[in-house]
Amino acid sequence: MQETKKGLEGIVALDTSISFIDGMQGILKYRGIDIEHLAEMSYETISYLLINGILPGEQELAAYSNRLKSERRINGEMIDIMRVCNYGTEALDSLRTAISCTAHMDHENDNNSLDANKNKAVRLIAKLPTMIAALYRCKSGDFPFQPDETLSHGANFLYMLRGEAPSAIEAEAIEKDFILSAEHELNPSTFALRIAASTLADVYSAIITGLCTLKGPLHGGARRGVMEMLDEVAVPENANNYVLYKLSRKEKIMGFGHRVYRTYDPRSRIFKDMAKRVAKENGDPTWYEVAESLEHVMYREFLDVRGRPIYPNVDFYSAVIYKYLRIPPELATSVFAIGRVSGWTAHCFEQYADNRVIRPRAHYI
């Protein structure tokens, strides 16, 4: 038997053409294109790229955008289901239920052809923002807002959440969040999803597998943890004592460290710059300054086993942006899923195209 690797660390499980990571150099590419370049595009462009493997031309993008907009609405039956969900739990639990119900309502659910699966992908990508906004509105005892087809993917989500159109910089921030969250190779939720897809489970079942895995506080749930930490620290002056107290108790500081990156996560650099810009427009830099203070203290006080600093990961400054965008903490993980669903569906298609059931072995002790 080969030597076991706890957590499968460093194990290469499969080939992919969807994304590339160099953890030592801090490089991330979708379909061979650097994330810094992709972050300046629209989410719809990135979604098309991930699913189809190439950047869309002007006509292709317009057609894809129109398809997404035409699929944004959810029906009254879905809203009725949302109203009976248990709102005392993380919103992602309710989203999981909503997607299961969507599968029942999809006439192509049992059709596993590529064309049918791409249709399902479009419906999922289009409806997730509407579902999450509707869940929040129902929880608040309000009626959900209908999607606005004149707004971009990100701006429309914030509109449905609040009932008012976001500012230009707010729309840019949430659009970047969706892009930077869209894909990241074999992260836990994507790997779990590919295992489900390898059994030839349908797309909806695979996506729900990804959602369940995303919920964990050591994966997508970390973003909510950072938001709660920012509230706990409250002001920059408290950052030093907060970090020292946590480290003295050997407790995790949320939003730091990554299994793959050994340098600054390239997504975090973009998020940090965006958070600074949003804070400036907001007129109150407190959340940004709290995060920056935490980052500085962590550099000074904590090194990894090789004596290197622990850098912020993708959740850290994205949580700062969520604070400024007034996204409730219980929605944080679900909002992450809005971006990630394009990458998830791309991985489903790649798994189906060259499938072998993923079935590793265990070392018996």
pLDDT digits (tens, 9 = 90+) for 247-257: 999 998 999 98
Q: Is the pLDDT of residue 304 over 70?
A: no
Q: Which of 153, 265, 315, 347 is catalytic?
A: 315
Asked if 341 and 13 touch (Cβ cutoff 8 Å), the reply is no
pLDDT of residue 64 exceeding 90:
yes
- Structure confidence at residue 301 (pLDDT): 87
Q: Average of pLDDT values for 13-19?
A: 96
Q: What is the pLDDT of residues 199-243, one digit of tens each?
A: 999 999 999 999 999 998 888 888 999 999 999 999 999 999 999
Residues ≥6 apart with Cβ < 8 Å to 116: 108
Is the separation of the CB atoms in 212 and 307 below 8 Å?
Answer: no
CA distances from 266 to 22, 237, 302, 338 (A): 10, 28, 21, 20
**Contact between 319 and 230 (Cβ < 8 Å):** yes
Q: Is 315 a catalytic residue?
A: yes
Confidence of residue 193 (pLDDT cuts 50, 70, 90): very high
The pLDDT, as a whole number, for residue 133 is 96
Q: Residue 237: its pLDDT value, please?
A: 97
Task: Tell me the Cα Rg of the chain.
Answer: 20
Residue of 93, 106, 153, 258 marked catalytic: 258
pLDDT of residue 303: 75
Phi-psi region of 235 (alpha: psi -120 to 50; beta: other; left: phi over 0): beta
Return mean pLDDT, the chain: 93
Q: pTM for this structure?
A: 0.95
Q: How far apart are CA 315 and CA 223, in angstroms?
A: 5
What pLDDT shows up at residue 246?
94
Q: Is the separation of the CB atoms in 277 and 216 below 8 Å?
A: no
Range with lowest mean pLDDT among 100-104, 202-206, 305-309: 305-309
Q: Which residues contact 147 (CB under 8 A, 6 or more apart)?
A: 69, 72, 73, 129, 130, 156, 160
Question: Tens of pLDDT along 125-168?
Answer: 999 999 999 999 998 888 999 999 999 999 999 999 999 999 99
Q: Could you tell me which residue, 336 or 83, shows the higher pLDDT?
A: 336
Question: What average pLDDT score do residues 276-298 get?
Answer: 97
* CB hemisphere CA count around 321 (13 angstroms): 31
Active site residue 258: yes
pLDDT at 2: 65
